[in-house]
Structure formats: C-alpha cells, structure tokens
Structure 1
C-alpha cells in the first residue's frame, strides 16, 4: 500500500457506511427499490476501492482489470438506482457498453490498448455510462426539488469523468513501470479524491431522494381508500392542487353513483356491500386507471378525473362505465343481484376549477337518478349555456 494508505481506508469505510445504511432502509421498507440498487452499487464500489488500495500498482494486471470493471459496474448500478425511483431501467446500450468496455481493457489480449488509450477509454466509458441516465432524469427534474438535485448530481459526476479523460489525454500514462508508478503517485490520487467526493455527494443525494420517496409513500398510503384501493378525497384534493400548479391537466369529470346501494347493505349485510364496492372499484380502475385518477369519494360514490388527452371520448367512456358496472356478476348471497349505476359527466372548460367541474358532473348524476337510474347524463356546453343531456 502507498503512503496514501489512510486515504484508501477512509474511502471504503465511507462506502461501507452508505452500504449498511441503505441495506437497513431497504430491509425496513421493501418497496424502496432504489435503496436496494444503491446498496448494491456502494457495496461493489467498496470492494473495488479496497482491492485498488491494497494492490501493487505494478503487479498483477488482472487485479488491475478487476478494479476497472468494478469501477464501471457501480456507476451503472447508481444510474439504475436513480431511474428505478420512476419505474425506469438503465438503457440496454449502457449495459452493453459496460460489458464491451470491460472486455476491451482486459490485459494480455491481442486487442489490449496502450496505457494512455486505456486510461482515456476507462474515463470516457465512465462518463458515457453516467450520461445514459441524464436524459431520463432531465424529464423528471420538475417533479420535485429532489429530482432536480438528483439530475444535477448525475450531471456533475458525468462532467468529472469527462474532465479526467481530457487530463489523461493531455498527460498520457507511460508504458514503463516507472511511468505507471508516477501516475499512481500523482494523478491517480487526485482521481481517487474526486471519486471519494463524488461518491459522498451521490450517496447523500441518494439518501435525500430515498427519504423523499419514504415521505411520498407514506403520503400515498394516507390517500388510498383501504376498501377499494382507489384514491380517496385527500388524493382528490392533491390532484386539484397539482392541476392548479400546472403539473397535471384534468380535462373532464365522470361521476358514478351506485343505484339503490342501501338495499344491498340492508338485505345482505355490510360485508356484501363491501364486496360490491370492491368489485366496482376494481372495474373502474381497470377501465380508467391509465386514463386519469379514479377516486372513491364516499359511500357508493366514485369520481374519475379524466386526463385532457382522453376527454374527447368522455361520453363514450361514461357509457362504458355504466355498462361495465351493470355487467358485474357476484358470488354467494349476491349471485342473483344486479348492480347498476347512474353516471354523470362534464367536459371541463379551459379556466374552470376542478371543484366546479365535479359539481356539474354531480348535477348530471342527480338528473340521471330522477330520470329512472342506470342512465348516463352529461352537462354539455351549448352556445355558452350548460345543458343537461341524456346520453344513455
């Protein structure tokens, strides 16, 4: 070990600390996929830097190759950790680059590059692997301050490796044992210092993002109706706030109210009523889960906030909801029961508040109820006037 032995003890110790903390977090909440990836990434980095610190710079070249390959790998894993927060994976081409670059820098091979080119390629490969996560993370930067910080941390790490490849190109590594030793006593220490700082920064940012995810998951739990698994009124309020802030675009509202639901509870008990609500909620989520936000707002009442991209078909979708609910079949004591619903909809105006759109859809439901139930009524805009019109 060189005179910088203390340096090569502190770095793996820091990586081991991050690994331990992330393993604990991942164990406590198994939904945090990013914590698992991050723990794996820091563990691989811990092994890599430990081996690099203990090896003889002029010794076995396969040990040197191992430290290079295990330098590529944690960078790829860290990109995956950040992307997994959004349900995405690292690009396949980045994985292929990791494999090909690891093969190309193998020692004692006919294609083995000279030291200076090997050094440039290693740093450039690291920069490219990190860059593979920049475009996806750029798309999410506006979701929260934490996402913007995550993008900035990845961008800075990428620039760090770009700078290293330029430095090695300007001051190339020689081929002699003395030149290699000089590199390890000079630039390599500087590179490891940069890696330590980058690793600590990325670790802190990852802990921030995972902490943000924990808060978000807890918030989402409080916004889920435990019976149906749909969003509740609290989520409805948050969607309203996000729409007002320009983060969402709700184009219309479909309101659904089950007909004579009290009779089900009175005749068959609340357990049977709960089963009806669960099945209706599951059917509505299947129909509209990809088209907007499906909420149970109370009792037998449901509201769908339809994305603006799908609002052109709001009348047909409302009719589909009515037909789907009427087509539900139940087991046991409910086997002979047919559940119907009165459905109302309203296409939201450009500057109309969501709350007002929901009230208009509710008015349409009331009209459908008075018109005999198991109906679909829409609030239409006719020459500047809002008109109730039966659709089905």
Structure 2
C-alpha cells in the first residue's frame, strides 16, 4: 500500500486536520472544567469525524466497500456524539437507545448498499438524510424558550443550517451516475461540495461550539466571584452591580428592597461557636431563596446582613413577603445546635423612588431596619410605618 500523497489529498487533509485541532481544544477546556462532560463528547465527535474523513481521503483501506463501511462508522459516531454534547450542554437528555438505533440503521444500510446491493446513491442518501435529520432534530430540541445569549442563538442557527446543508448537498446527486471507485468519486461535484461545506459550515459550527463552552466557563468563574462562599447569595460587590441594573430596568418597576439583620447574632457565635452561626446564616438564606422568585435578588452584604430586591412588587406586597420570611425563621429549630435556640430577624422595607441610586435606597432601608431594632427586634418596618417610629442613627446590634 502506497502512502504517497498527491496535491489534492494534501489540500483535502486540511479539513480533518482542523477537526483534530478542535478536538484537542475541547479536551483542553474539559481539563480545566472537568465536571462538564459534554466537552468530552464534543472532543470525541471531532476526532471521529477527522478519522472518517482521513480514511476516505487517504483511501484507508483502498477497497471501496470496507472504506465506505469504516468511514460511515466514524461519521455516524461523530454526528451522534455531537448531538449528545449539544444536548447535554443545554441540560437536555440524550437518549442513547435512540442513538444506538440510528447508528445501527446507518451501518446496516451502508453494509447492504455496499456488499449486498451496491448502490452509491443509496449510501449517500442513507448518510446525508440520517445525519441531516439528527442535526436538525438536535438544533430544535436544544432551543430554549427563554432568552438566551447571542452565542447560543448563533449556535442554534448554525447547527440548523449545518443539518439542512446535508439535504441540500444531496440534491447534487439527483439524476447523476457516481463512480464507486474511491479515487474517481473524490473528483465528483458532490465530494467537492461536501468538502467545501464541511470546511466552511463545519469550521464555523466548531468555533461556535468552542466559543459557547469558553463563555460557559467564564460565566461560571464570574458567578463564583459574585457569590458568597457560605450562603451562595450574591456578595456585596455583585449586589451593587446587579442591583443597579435591576432598579434601573423600567420593566421591573415597582421595585422594593428588604434589608435584614439577624438579631443578637454575635451572641449565637459566642455561645455556640462560629459553625453554629454559619448554620443559621445558611438556613436563613435558604428560607429567603425558597420564598422569593428566581428573578429576584438576594445578597449577603455583611456578616449577618442580607438584602433582597423584589421586582414588580409594591410596598404592601413586599411587607407581606418580608413578614413571611421573618416568621419562617422564628419557626426553625436548630436541634444540632440547641433546641432552645430561637433565632429572629429584623427587617426594613422601602420602595424605589424615581431617580435615586441603589446606595441611597439601601440607606433608606437600613434606617427602617434600625427602627425595627429600636422597636424591640423581630419585626418588619416599612416606609408607611416609619413615621411612627423614631429610628436612631446609630446601628443597633
């Protein structure tokens, strides 16, 4: 067997070579982010495609029947692995039973039209129609009903276009007589269109897949930076940044803020230890998270200080929510710490006023929180009640 390459083969090998580069790139991202196993599927997908493409370009094996079967095996594995990677990244299930059925159907079809009833057009139809259908179905299934990032939307349309291209490309074979000989087939318009579309659409698709994976990684790092390590609420820096956008969005108005401070928290740490205090903080944050909506904001801005921002919520409704959270905490018993431990919280509630900044709003909520402390703690004070209470300027523990 001769391995001498002609000029055409050298040019064509650029496509599988680029695929290997992308496979290595996905593997590198996975090494840094090992819990994202979809990256392994994408890496294996591009490696399988490179193997199938190289086997055809290099005529390995040279006989067309085993070459068709081996290359089809690699291509089918590539498409299914890509489908798995895309779906798992979006948190959608990939049914390997369906994948196994498609894989088996492709291989059986290629075998039949290679060894039993040789028909090149039939093999092209089996491969292209099956792969196109899988990619289109994957694109549609991965589409989210909620607003997504720009790179996610671009990935959806490119994946859809890539899938449709399999159907369009196959139209080039209509009414044509194609040679079975591998070297002659490599000179046909269909094969050249295949290589061109894979080089262009495939490269763009690969870049988008890699881009979304890297953006996912960057978002996770930003999320870790913005979260309080203990309670997983936003930290103060993230609250100031996200909260400013939150109150500045007219679609969220009216916006209300509730400032919380756990009562006598220092005595909990002194009496039961800081581990007990951490347990209390986490328990309170969990109550808040399960009470408010997913698009509201909760942040830990100090040791025992929390703030929540409620969108499309008026002052009276915010007061009800604040009271619900306060009462829920009073009913929690920390048996592993002390069954007699009754933890309470004080709260101040304000509504956003047109033109004010987030720090000014927080300062108003803080003053009402101090008023609640002054009133005996374990209560909620909103703006409508503020005039009845003389709130001191100094902080009350």
User: TM-score scaled to structure 1, two decimals?
Assistant: 0.76
1:339 is matched with 343
Alignment deviations for residues 240-284 of structure 1 (CA, whole Å, 9 cap, x no partner): 355478698475433322112122234444443333223322343
Alignment deviations for residues 201-230 of structure 1 (CA, whole Å, 9 cap, x no partner): 333333322222232222111111122222
1:237 is matched with 240
Q: 1:103 to 1:19 in 2, by over 3 A?
A: closer
User: Aligned ranges for residues 307-326 of structure 1 at < 5 Å?
Assistant: 307-308=311-312, 314-326=318-330
Correspondence 1:188 to 2:191: yes
2:393 is matched with none
What SS class does the counterpart of residue 279 from structure 2 fall into? helix
Distance 2:226 2:102 in 1: 41
Once the two structures are TM-superposed, the CA of residue 10 in structure 1 deviates from its matched residue by 3.6
Correspondence 1:125 to 2:130: yes
Select the residue among 327, 332, 354 that pairs with 2:331.
327
1:208 is matched with 211
What SS class does the counterpart of residue 310 from structure 2 fall into? strand
Contact 1:341 1:374 (C-alpha < 8 Å) held by counterparts = yes
Range with bigger deviation, 322-331 or 141-150: 141-150
Q: 1:228 to 1:35 in 2, by over 3 A?
A: same
Contact 2:92 2:142 (C-alpha < 8 Å) held by counterparts = no
Contact 1:26 1:35 (C-alpha < 8 Å) held by counterparts = yes
Q: 1:114 to 1:9 in 2, by over 3 A?
A: closer
Correspondence 1:257 to 2:261: yes
What SS class does the counterpart of residue 150 from structure 1 fall into? helix
Distance 1:354 1:310 in 2: 17
Distance 2:211 2:112 in 1: 43
Which runs of 5 or more structure 1 residues have no equivalent in the other structure? 381-385
Distance 1:94 1:307 in 2: 43
1:383 is matched with none
Once the two structures are TM-superposed, the CA of residue 236 in structure 1 deviates from its matched residue by 1.6
2:39 is matched with 35
Range with bigger deviation, 90-99 or 182-191: 90-99
Correspondence 1:161 to 2:163: no
Q: 1:318 to 1:334 in 2, by over 3 A?
A: same
Distance 1:138 1:246 in 2: 26
Distance 2:13 2:139 in 1: 31
Range with bigger deviation, 90-99 or 64-73: 90-99
What SS class does the counterpart of residue 229 from structure 1 fall into? coil
Contact 1:120 1:168 (C-alpha < 8 Å) held by counterparts = no
Q: 1:291 to 1:211 in 2, by over 3 A?
A: closer
Larger strand proportion of the pair? 1
Distance 2:368 2:264 in 1: 17
- Aligned-pair Cα RMSD in Å: 4.3
Range with bigger deviation, 84-93 or 126-135: 84-93
Contact 2:349 2:365 (C-alpha < 8 Å) held by counterparts = yes
Once the two structures are TM-superposed, the CA of residue 11 in structure 1 deviates from its matched residue by 3.2
Which runs of 5 or more structure 2 residues have no equivalent in the other structure? 390-397
Alignment deviations for residues 172-192 of structure 1 (CA, whole Å, 9 cap, x no partner): 455x646x8644331214312
1:294 is matched with 298
Alignment deviations for residues 308-354 of structure 1 (CA, whole Å, 9 cap, x no partner): 49999645433331122112222555443211112344566899876
Distance 2:356 2:47 in 1: 52
Once the two structures are TM-superposed, the CA of residue 115 in structure 1 deviates from its matched residue by 4.1
Once the two structures are TM-superposed, the CA of residue 368 in structure 1 deviates from its matched residue by 3.1
Contact 2:244 2:358 (C-alpha < 8 Å) held by counterparts = no
What SS class does the counterpart of residue 186 from structure 2 fall into? helix
